[in-house]
Amino acid sequence: MGRRRFFLIFCILAIFVFAIVKCTPVKSKSNDSRGPAYAGSATCVSCHQDLTKSAVHNSHFNASKILTAPGSADSLHIPDGEFIFNENTKVQVKNRADGLYQSALLNGVDRKTEHTAMIFGAGKSAYTFAFWYGKQLMQMPLNYLTKEHQWVNSPGFPEDQIYFGRPIIARCLECHSSFADKKLVQGPNFSITEEYVKNSIIAGIDCERCHGPAAQHVTFHQENPTVKTANFMVSYKKLALSRRIDACGVCHSGTGIQTVSSTFNFKPGDTLKTLPQYNAYSGEDPDVHGKQKPLLEASLCYKIGKAECITCHDMHDNKSSGVAIYSAKCISCHQDVKHETLKEKNKAVLAKNCIDCHMPIKESHAIGFQMSNSKEKIPYKLRTHRIAIYNELVKRK
């Protein structure tokens, strides 16, 4: 009887302990390279499935990719190709069983071949490629233009020779990834190089890059599943207008931002003015490449508080909006615009296309892509974010 009673008590205790373990929320555990304050974007999926399913196809999430496995570039549909500098100097691109390669061919002899370790760009316009040189990340000689279906010489590279020598510095990763741990290494003649901890790089712009560290938020809601109001997370709606666009402007203010500390430290609610050496917009019409924030700030629509980044852009959506959708947003505020200066035959057409006139596509003066077997360059074209009346376009109409 004593053994049976002991066994019965043991079974009851075991069931009780099992029930407690099953009912206790599992706290978020993350090996995120940014530290314990971060939960990792994979954790966000459990509560935000619809948003994350769409966001993973968004351009921000795909701003860079690490190619760790054979065939990991297959979904990008990047073809083999060749770029000709002259009859003796060529770069060959090959998809092999274990990845994507670029090779320097001099007089038909392979002098240098590198394996693609990382890709930059979401592929709407172009892809840039990188390889590892020790612990340095280096840019490959060729870019691929997705619209033109062409292999081109990387912008800023020599026009008459193959170049494998440009390091991809942390400033590049600060806008094309969510984190990278770097170390400054002193070389000969007091030179300084940036080396990365390879496993620390978080490719693409993930949830926490925009929303801030979420470990405390995740833990709270796992322990309090009935609470539907977000705790320990910054609400964008409650931020001041300037703070909201600063969250985008940390990457969309151009490469002219010079900071003492990494912009990886920037959190929603921070302001760009707190970044040392940040160059505020001073009224000029800057190059369209990467300077969407200062261009928007020059727009009257922004100055009167009627337009900001999220007015037109949904960062969780993977669908590209056409000019008609964007124009509808304009018309919601400008219903009474008559376009008196335009010819009558153009008014009906332009009524549904505000964008091409008031945010025209312009050529970047900073970037051009050299074509194969030519010195000619394909200009990089982007839509300006300075919403305005462009007199030169009015005259054409």
**Per-residue pLDDT tens over the stretch 13-22:** 555 444 443 4
pLDDT at 345 (0 to 100): 59
pLDDT at 370 (0 to 100): 96
Regarding predicted confidence, which is higher, 255 or 128? Answer: 128
Q: How many CA atoms lie within 13 A of 58 on its CB side?
A: 19
Q: What would the mean pLDDT of 196-208 be, rounded to a whole number? A: 94
In 10 A of CB 18, how many CB atoms?
Answer: 10
Is 128's pLDDT higher than 60?
yes
Is 344's pLDDT higher than 90?
no
Is 26's pLDDT higher than 60?
no
Global pTM value: 0.85
Sketch the domain layout of the chain as residue ranges: 281-397
Tokens 């000029």, located at residue: 284
Is 347's pLDDT higher than 90?
no
pLDDT at 202 (0 to 100): 96
350 pLDDT band, cuts 50/70/90, is: low
Task: Please check whether residue 82 is in contact with residue 372, taking contact to mean a CB–CB distance below 8 angstroms.
Answer: yes
30-44, 133-147, 324-338: lowest mean pLDDT where? 324-338
pLDDT at 351 (0 to 100): 66
Mean pLDDT of the chain: 85
Candidates 234, 214, 212; CA nearest to 30 is 214
The per-residue pLDDT for range 280-335, each reduced to its tens digit, is: 555 556 678 888 998 998 899 999 989 999 999 888 877 767 888 888 889 888 88
Q: What pairing do the DSSP bridges indicate for beta strands 377-383 and 99-106?
A: unpaired
Measure CA 124 to chain center: 12
Measure CA 1 to chain center: 70
pLDDT at 323 (0 to 100): 85
User: Which token pair is 259?
Assistant: 């900071």
The per-residue pLDDT for range 49-58, each reduced to its tens digit, is: 888 878 878 8
Regarding predicted confidence, which is higher, 200 or 7? Answer: 200
The per-residue pLDDT for range 204-249, each reduced to its tens digit, is: 999 999 999 999 999 999 999 999 899 999 988 899 999 999 999 9
Q: What is the b/e burial string over 86-98, where b = at least 16 CB atoms within 10 angstroms of the residue's CB?
A: eeebbbbbebeee
* Overall size of the chain counted in residues: 397
pLDDT at 158 (0 to 100): 96
* pLDDT > 70 in the chain, percent: 84
Regarding predicted confidence, which is higher, 118 or 49? Answer: 118
